[in-house]
Amino acid sequence: MSGRPLHHHIRRNIVSYIALFFALTGTSVAAVSLANHSIDPAKLNPRYIGGYVRAWVSVASNGPVTASGGGVRVQRDFNIAPGHYIIDWRPKPTGKCTAIGSVDLNGGLVPGYVTAQAGYSRGRGEQSSVQVYNAQGQAAALPYDLELICATPR
């Protein structure tokens, strides 16, 4: 492999490498420098902080569910834009929820991102409107993973 392709690769991805370095360094510093029991229960009061993954789904680019945890139904809605999906989460969650996701290709993350907006409908329960984007920020039909994270019921 000649030096020229490697040079171009590094030049194109330098910001990614810097971000990865800071992310890994920060995590390592926190893991090493925080003493056991240095964060007391008052700081992590479960009354104010808490949640759980209610359901999750892996979706192929053309819409079918490839794997899921919890009853999930996916509707592809390319009339709005390519890569637009509606998710029906079942059973209905008992608290406030939000959805987060990532683009997934062959079990690994790829450049691109997922935006998801969770909402509640009386007839259908919890739904999420999902839009998938490629690395250039254009709406695209790509495979993705999505999780429904809900507040811990009180």
Domain boundaries, the chain: 1-38, 52-150
pLDDT of residue 14: 77
Enter the tokens of residue 86: 């509606």
Q: What is the mean pLDDT of residues 13-34?
A: 66
> Binning pLDDT at 50, 70 and 90, where does residue 149 land?
confident
pLDDT, averaged across the chain? 75
Q: How far apart are the C-alpha atoms of 136 and 80, rounded to whole Å?
A: 19
Confidence of residue 153 (pLDDT cuts 50, 70, 90): low
The answer, yes or no, to whether residue 123 has pLDDT greater than 80, is: no
- Is-above-0.85 flag for pTM? no
Q: Report how far apart, in Å, the C-alpha atoms of 30 and of each of 15, 35, 124, 148 are.
A: 23, 9, 42, 27
Q: Which residues pair with 59 in a beta bridge?
A: 65, 144
Is the pLDDT at 152 greater than 60? The verdict is yes
3-state helix, strand, coil in the chain (%, to 5): 20, 40, 40
| Band of residue 42 on the pLDDT scale cut at 50, 70, 90 | low
Tell me how far CA of residue 2 lies from CA of 5, 10, 14, 96, 124, in angstroms.
6, 13, 19, 54, 57
